Amino acid sequence: MSPSADAAAPVSTSAPPLAPLVAAQLTYLLSHSKLPIRVGQIWSGCRNGRHSDRFTLSIPFCLDYVHWDFMYNALSPKVAPDVVFGPDDEGFQPLVDYAEAGNDASCLARWNYRDPRGLIALVHELRELYIEYHKKQVAKVDDARVTFELNTVLSKEGIEVCMVPSADRPDEVKFAVPLLDVDFDFNKLVPGCPWRLPQKIHLQVIFPISRSSSYSSVPSAPRLKLISTPDLKSLFSVEDVKLPPWSNGMCLAEYLPALEESLNLLVVEASASIGARRRFIEALAPTFGRPIEADPIFCRRATVLSISGVFTFLVHFAIPLQFPKQQPVLTLQSSQHCNAEGTPITSPPINDYPWSPRWDQAEMVERIYDFLADECQNFKKFCSDTITQQK
């Protein structure tokens, strides 16, 4: 698993297209993998080659990414790719270990260059081996608490761990702990959801290493942080979750149940909030007229066209995840006034209008309508003053 001899060829600034067989495998990987894998550089191993035959993949691991180079050979397309791992992983040599053990379980032993599933099988196999490699590395750490945590929570499916070296402080160990049930499917909470990849919430736990074989004193609390997949923020924001306190002497096995119970309730509330936001948008029609634009899935946005005398303007509703506890933010946009750049003039965000989460949706909309009957005159004057100042 080391670089091939021609790996030192310079990367082309305008790389030629990937060799067809290589491109088929990469396309299959990106369209079928349940991991958020990214493609970095693509280049050719030969000077002035007709096709590129190698690329960098960024592969998720322990709430971060590792970057591996996959080196095909366009002149020998039947041969499986070589793989170059990161500079900090010189001890990770899974295929060398396979060869020494006489083990042909690797997908490379059954490599079929015409099968587009070859690369995805290789990436997933190497990632699983990489996870196990780091678990073994962390198990070697001489720290009683880390050893205890490994022995008590590693049985939880999906946990990943790794060392976090640092030049200016003691080394640390990071745990990435998946929360909620492994089979929990956020997509089922949102009809018509566009997410292709599974959505997850993890607890990141970072333990400082004390380098002691026993507890000489009560260890400090680990650093805790909730991290979710980016798309999940459309439904549920982990930044709004208040983590339970970590008591002295507590371990992860004690901490996780209360956190997961709290998250389950918050996720149920987030799902219910979609229905409340949808009913609010539907309630706009009898008073404002049918919205000209609306978010049909998460119901986070809606726009209506309003008229006051001869003044025509748009009202944009930005509906927060915490609706109805938090009220929508309104932005008015003139249909008749533009600034010096030719952009329609808009108001600052408005959220100081009458509001109560206990009102039904119809009353919420009526109160906003009554507020805007006066506010639109202020906005019209604001637009006229802006035009006058530009002259």
Give pLDDT, residue 36: 94
pLDDT band at 214 (very low <50, low <70, confident <90, very high): very low
Give, as one character, the DSSP assignment of residue 110: G
User: Two tokens at 97?
Assistant: 């270990």
What would the mean pLDDT of 303-320 be, rounded to a whole number?
94
SS3 category, 30: helix
Residues 203 and 132 sit within 8 Å (Cβ to Cβ)? no
Amino acid identity, position 39: V
Q: Where are the alpha helices (DSSP H) in the chain?
A: 20-32, 94-101, 118-139, 144-153, 252-288, 361-390
Cα 268 to the center of its chain, rounded Å: 20
Residue 305 has pLDDT above 60, yes or no: yes
Q: Which residue has the tokens 């015409």?
A: 114
- Of 225, 228, 174, nearest in space to 201 by CA: 228
Residue that wins the pLDDT comparison between 191 and 306: 306
What would the mean pLDDT of 316-334 be, rounded to a whole number?
95
pLDDT band at 10 (very low <50, low <70, confident <90, very high): very low
What would the mean pLDDT of 174-200 be, rounded to a whole number?
85
Residues 143 and 178 sit within 8 Å (Cβ to Cβ)? no
Give pLDDT, residue 98: 58
pLDDT band at 100 (very low <50, low <70, confident <90, very high): low
Give pLDDT, residue 7: 35
Question: Which has the minimum average pLDDT: 9-23, 120-134, 188-202?
Answer: 9-23
Alpha-carbon span 130 to 250, nearest angstrom: 29
Q: What is the pTM of this model?
A: 0.81
Q: Read off the pLDDT of residues 153-166 as tens digits, 9 standing for 90 and up.
A: 888 888 999 998 77
Q: Read off the pLDDT of residues 247-282 as tens digits, 9 standing for 90 and up.
A: 888 899 999 999 999 998 888 888 889 999 999 999
pLDDT band at 104 (very low <50, low <70, confident <90, very high): low
Residue 386 has pLDDT above 70, yes or no: yes
pLDDT over 70, % of the chain: 91
Amino acid identity, position 300: R
Secondary structure, 3-state, 307-376: EECCEEEEEEEECCCCCCCCCCEEEEEEEEEECCCCCEEECCCECCCCCCCCCCHHHHHHHHHHHHHHHH
Q: What is the CATH number of domain 280-390?
A: 3.10.110
Residues 35 and 17 sit within 8 Å (Cβ to Cβ)? no
Give pLDDT, residue 295: 94
Residues 365 and 280 sit within 8 Å (Cβ to Cβ)? yes
Question: Which has the minimum average pLDDT: 68-77, 208-217, 301-310?
Answer: 208-217
Q: Which of 29-33, 170-174, 383-387 has the highest mean pLDDT?
A: 29-33
What would the mean pLDDT of 327-340 be, rounded to a whole number?
92
Residues 4 and 41 sit within 8 Å (Cβ to Cβ)? no
Whole-number average pLDDT of the chain: 87
